[in-house]
Amino acid sequence: MTTTHCPYCALQCAMRLEPGPDGRLAARPAPFPTNRGGLCRKGWTSAEVLTVPDRLTRPLIRKDRGSNLVETDWDTALDHVAERLLALAAESGPDTVSVFGSGGLTNEKSYTLGKFARLALGTSQIDYNGRFCMSSAAAGGMRAFGLDRGMPFPLSDVGGAEAVLLAGANPAETMPPMMGHLSAPALLVVDPRRSATAQVALDNGGLHLAPRPGTDLALALGLLHAVRVGGWVDEEFVASRTTGFEAAWEHAAAWWPEHTEQVTGVPAAHIRAAADLLGAAARNRSAYVLTGRGTEQHAKGTDTVSAWINLSLALGLPGRAGSGYGCITGQGNGQGGREHGQKADQLPGYRRIDDPAARAHVAGVWGVEPDTLPGPGRSAFELLDALGTAGGPRAMLLFGSNPAVSAPDSGRVRSRLAALDLLVTADFVLSETAAMSDVVLPVAQWAEESGTMTNLEGRVLRRNRAAEPPPGVRTDLQVLSDLAVRLGQPPERFATDPDTVLAELGRASAGGAADYSGVTPARLDSGEALYWPVRADAAPTPRLFLDSFAHPDGRARFLAVSHRPPAEATDADYPLVATTGRLMGHYQSGAQTRRVPELGRAEPEAYVEVHPDTAARAGLAAGDWARVTSRRGRTRARVRLSPTARLDTVFLPFHFAGDQAANNLTNPALDPTSRMPEFKVSAVRLEPEL
């Protein structure tokens, strides 16, 4: 029996993996502060992914375009990849090769992937799928607090609150064990849908605020207006611990509740009631504001996050025990994945790659000269969209992601992937992206290797190996080391042992914002709660900002932000708004969960959730196949009627592929700060499937 952590979301629920009579592992819940002995449906079935029938155990190679992938040996596959990478770089420079990572990789793999890109390949062209998940919240947190740790307090702190506002988060479906912490008498849910979490709020006397998709920022401004008019602003906190309130108020002053209702559709009375509930709880130092993807995945996502932070600062929540603002991280290592170098503009320790001091420090750890390190590269969608174009990368190495399904405007992304001279994917199954690849490298899964993850609280924890990988399968660290050597790197530069990599990561991150220098195997195995920063000479930091914020003057920043419409509008041809989200039984692109029989039976196909009147106007009834079309593409989905749905909005889960992929519809318009695409608002029409 091995105690470890779930392979899915950033709760990182603890579990025990126990071998059964047939030798296969089974998952059982284990005590841990985030899940408190519970698991969701995905966690209970997680071990089944290890033995799916189509598990890859030998490398695959496509000898020429148009031919099928065929099995080969590791030396042949790696030699081919290295030869092609060297040839392409010689022809067009190092930036002709690109790397795409994942918020699901361990800290050790995230760190090594960034190091591999910058040293072995010499490329600036690296980013990762976390850009689609947390980037707006990260940018908002950095602007306001000077530091991005999504939840700067333990999740267990939330359990005693009098009021919790959830903006764009649906943990009842996406993180069910989290609901045990959301027992506040006043649960306020901001979501265009009557989600499972919104229903919990209503059933327990809370509020559901259902804004039109793309108007969350206006709602946050309206709530700030109601908070100030209602006398709930913590004047002492604002004066002593923040700057910029008056400039932010100039933008909120025009958003009285009745005006906010006209733009958002949320009744003015509900806005005032929410402000009063939050204000009364904040006065008792017992309120939290938490944001999620629904409010962040917009072309104005960073400003929207800033508006929610402004509200929390006006109430005096951040940096105080018993209250706070936090972001609910989605992917399993969404926090750690953006801290150690697989993001286009970062080096380990959450250092900026264009900071000379940061470059000098990391280069010293790596044993190279600072000027040999490349500068910032393209963000995730911009990188994907440049593939195979004039001046864009001609090759991509992809680890732990499936952008053929998960990227916005996915038809366009698939065409860019197909235009590459070389696409190499490391995966455990033939995902939709792997199936397009020239080389597929079979790699170990979560229970077959050890490593550290950083959960939604900023807590660094260890996933323990419970089984050996199948014969013929290598770890990502082994693959990167093998390739690096073939590309001319000294063998000792790219370690394959996770603990060795962790020690180096600690040295590289030392002194940075995300300092892991005190994270050691001994401390991890002792059960000590290691919330970063974890310096070698100091205790961990479970609660940030209690004394000061991370800006040089110690104060948090209000940001003056204004509402603006979504990147595209509805019209006569595309009269409805489509928004996307997750289901309880599936995860991300579904490459893992769609292969688990129990989960597949529960949600076997895509659906479109629509109001009965809207469906009837389109000539559709419950159970019909519908065609949903945007300005970029189309998808097909089974009609699911919901009388609580907005008449102007349809909802689609994004876990399905091919002609059922929701991201065939989505808009790649980018936030100017975070470069987050606008996943949550697409103008569409709804028709019967012919």
Co-location of 589 and 673 in the same domain: yes
Within-domain flag for 558:
no
Measuring CA to CA, which residue among 658, 654, 591, 646 is closest to residue 194? Answer: 646
Within-domain flag for 675:
yes
Co-location of 384 and 296 in the same domain: no
| DSSP string across 584-619 | TT--TTSTTGGGSHHHHHHS-S-EEEE-HHHHHHTT
Q: How many domains does the chain have?
A: 5
Q: Given a cut of 90, is residue 590 above it in pLDDT?
A: no
Co-location of 186 and 255 in the same domain: yes
How many Cβ atoms sit within 10 Å of the Cβ of residue 141?
26
Distances (CA, A) of 53 to 89, 301, 458, 469: 38, 40, 35, 15
Measuring CA to CA, which residue among 26, 73, 71, 74 is closest to residue 51? Answer: 26
Place of tokens 């090594």: 112
Co-location of 232 and 359 in the same domain: no
CATH classification of the domain holding 159: 3.40.228.10
3-state secondary structure 175-193: CHHHHHHCCCCEEEEECCC
Within-domain flag for 633:
yes
Q: Which residues contact 299 (CB under 8 A, 6 or more apart)?
A: 566, 567, 667, 669, 670, 671, 672, 676, 677, 678
Place of tokens 């793999």: 109
Among 132-136, 275-279, 448-452, the minimum mean pLDDT is found in: 132-136
Choose one of 312, 328, 344: the last residue of a domain.
328
CATH classification of the domain holding 29: 2.20.25.90
Contact 362, 507 (CB under 8 A): no
Co-location of 317 and 346 in the same domain: no
Query: Which H helix or E strand runs over 623?
Result: none
Q: pLDDT tens-digit profile of 381-408?
A: 999 999 999 999 999 999 999 999 999 9
Co-location of 592 and 680 in the same domain: yes
Co-location of 261 and 285 in the same domain: yes
Within-domain flag for 591:
yes
CATH classification of the domain holding 624: 2.40.40.20
pLDDT value of position 330: 81
pLDDT value of position 115: 98
pLDDT value of position 690: 79
Burial class (CB in 10 A: 0-12, 13-18, 19+), 463: buried
Pairing state between β 649-653 and 667-670: unpaired
pLDDT value of position 134: 84
Distance CA 609, CA 231 (A): 40
Average of per-residue pLDDT values in the chain: 96
Co-location of 411 and 529 in the same domain: no
- Collapsing DSSP to helix, strand or coil, 347 comes out as strand
Instruction: Work out the pLDDT band at 195, boundaries 50, 70, 90.
Output: very high
- Phi first, then psi: what are they for 615, rounded to 5°? -65, -45
Pairing state between β 351-352 and 346-347: antiparallel
Distances (CA, A) of 249 to 177, 222, 496: 37, 11, 53
Sign of CA dihedral 662, 380, 293, 259: negative
Co-location of 486 and 341 in the same domain: yes
pLDDT value of position 66: 80
Q: Which residues contact 237 (CB under 8 A, 6 or more apart)?
A: 313, 316, 320
Distance CA 247, CA 531 (A): 34
The amino acid at residue 325 is Y
Q: pLDDT tens-digit profile of 303-326?
A: 999 999 999 999 999 999 999 999
Measuring CA to CA, which residue among 65, 8, 77 is closest to residue 41? Answer: 8
Q: pLDDT tens-digit profile of 345-394?
A: 999 999 999 999 999 999 999 999 999 999 999 999 999 999 999 999 99
Sign of CA dihedral 473, 476, 479, 481: negative
Distance CA 105, CA 334 (A): 9
3-state secondary structure 460-501: EEEECCCCCCCCCCECHHHHHHHHHHHCCCCHHHCCCCHHHH
pLDDT value of position 237: 98
Tokens of 580: 């996307």
Within-domain flag for 320:
yes
pLDDT value of position 301: 96
Taking residues 613-642, report their average pLDDT.
98
Within-domain flag for 606:
yes
Q: Given a cut of 90, is residue 185 above it in pLDDT?
A: no
Measuring CA to CA, which residue among 542, 555, 577, 580 is closest to residue 679? Answer: 580
Peptide bond into 653 cis (omega under 30): no
Distance CA 607, CA 610 (A): 9
pLDDT value of position 133: 86
| DSSP string across 381-407 | HHHHHHTTSTTS-SEEEEES--HHHHS
Give helix 476-486 / helix 107-115 axis angle, nearest 10°: 10
User: How far from chain centre, in Å, is Cα 184?
Assistant: 26
- Collapsing DSSP to helix, strand or coil, 343 comes out as coil
Instruction: Work out the pLDDT band at 565, boundaries 50, 70, 90.
Output: very high
Contact 579, 680 (CB under 8 A): yes
Query: Which H helix or E strand runs over 109?
Result: helix 107-115
Sign of CA dihedral 100, 103, 109, 114: positive
Co-location of 245 and 259 in the same domain: yes
CATH classification of the domain holding 367: 3.40.50.740
Instruction: Work out the pLDDT band at 205, boundaries 50, 70, 90.
Output: very high
Co-location of 365 and 438 in the same domain: yes
Q: pLDDT tens-digit profile of 513-529?
A: 999 999 999 999 998 99
Give the percent of the chain with pLDDT over 90.
94
Q: Given a cut of 90, is residue 678 above it in pLDDT?
A: yes
Place of tokens 């310096």: 535
Question: What angle is formed at CA 662 by the lines to CA 397 and CA 52, rounded to 5 degrees?
Answer: 60
Give the percent of the chain with pLDDT over 70.
100
Residue-range definition of the domain harbouring residue 544: 518-549
Alpha-helical (H) ranges within 26-101 are: 41-44, 74-92
Place of tokens 């008498």: 185
Q: pLDDT tens-digit profile of 140-166?
A: 999 999 999 999 999 999 998 999 999
Instruction: Work out the pLDDT band at 1, boundaries 50, 70, 90.
Output: confident
Q: Which residues contact 372 (CB under 8 A, 6 or more apart)?
A: 122, 363
Co-location of 158 and 300 in the same domain: yes
Within-domain flag for 361:
yes
Instruction: Work out the pLDDT band at 183, boundaries 50, 70, 90.
Output: confident
Q: pLDDT tens-digit profile of 36-91?
A: 999 999 999 999 999 999 999 999 999 887 889 999 999 999 999 999 999 999 99
Beta strands in 353-393 (DSSP E): none
Distance CA 666, CA 410 (A): 8
Distance CA 303, CA 395 (A): 34
pLDDT value of position 364: 98
Contact 586, 603 (CB under 8 A): yes
pLDDT value of position 331: 87
Within-domain flag for 493:
yes
Taking residues 441-466, report their average pLDDT.
96
Distance CA 125, CA 344 (A): 7
pTM of the model: 0.96
Tokens of 168: 């764009």
Q: Which residues contact 44 (CB under 8 A, 6 or more apart)?
A: 27
Rg (CA), the chain: 24
